[in-house]
Amino acid sequence: MMSDIIGKRRDVELVAGCVDEGIDGYRGPSMKFARKLAESLGVKFETLTYQEMGYGRMDQVVEMIPGIGDRHSEANGLMPCSYCGVFRRQSLNALAEKLGANVMALGHNLDDMAQSIMMNLQKGDIDRSVRLAPHTDTPIEGIVPRIVPLRWVPEQEIHAYAIYFGLPIHHGECPHATGAQRQQSRAVIAQLETQTPGARHGLLHSLDQIRILHRGANPDSTNKVKNCIECDGISSKDVCQSCIMKKWLAEAY
């Protein structure tokens, strides 16, 4: 859709970017289809691996998680998605910086957004919620602004669109996602939508209203960021979670 809408503009260059987490049987096939789609559209395809970021393959990380939990109380009980989510965000930022991108378009759909909102509300984490993309009105200093073109489109409709137009798609679930909080939120959101059609849209509308109220009450909050003393990346703490986890992994190897 991005290619159809703005791909022919002379003042725009589209680049497809994918992060390879290193998950056997899952990321490999989806990367192959992503590359195939990009090539069919004449769009350059770029990747970045967790190994290049210094994390190691996610399959290896998963094997070390129990031992890390034994050594560090704050890591005890963390699921693979807790590590992968941190690493992927850092990798996306690094990939955008590597390419000199002005804007990063994410592929998250309505279901993804509703799940993220619910997870943050369960934790009472309003600040994290208002930092969710898109960043068109509230850019965050230190990272490339993100847009989410598919944020209002249900997952089922995207799936149907891809099948109808014969797009190369990979059907599969991450083997490490079992028991993750997002999986639980996915089930709750699906049930809510079945009982009250429009629930997903309602959650997203609610977030947009909260964002406006939050910005009015804290006009400078979205631009206030710290820099990690280890990697100089943006962080809510003195040392970012990525560097903390990287240290745990280095001790475990």
User: What's the CATH code, domain 2-252?
Assistant: 3.40.50.620
Which pLDDT band holds residue 178 (cuts at 50, 70, 90)?
confident
Q: What is the pLDDT of residue 146?
A: 94
130 neighbors 138 (Cβ within 8 angstroms): yes
Sole residue written with tokens 């290896």: 60
Beta-strand pair 226-227/146-147? unpaired
Q: What is the pLDDT of residue 180?
A: 84
Residues contacting 234, CB < 8 A, separation 6+:
140, 141, 142, 143, 225, 226, 227, 228, 240
Per cent of the chain over pLDDT 90 is 75
**Given this model, what pLDDT does residue 200 score?**
97
Domains of the chain by residue range = 2-252
Q: What is the pLDDT of residue 241?
A: 93
CA distances from 123 to 119, 130, 140 (A): 7, 14, 22
How far apart, in whole angstroms, are the C-alpha atoms of residue 119 and residue 125? 9
pLDDT at 190: 95
pLDDT tens digits for range 77-131: 899 999 999 999 999 999 999 999 999 999 999 999 999 999 999 999 888 888 8
Q: How confident is the model at residue 222 (pLDDT cuts 50, 70, 90)?
A: low
Cα separation, 206 vs 252, in Å, equals 42
For the segment 125-146, what is each residue's pLDDT rounded down to a tens digit?
A: 888 888 899 998 878 888 899 9
Cα torsion 106, 112, 118, 123: sign:
negative
Query: What SS3 state is found at 195?
Result: helix
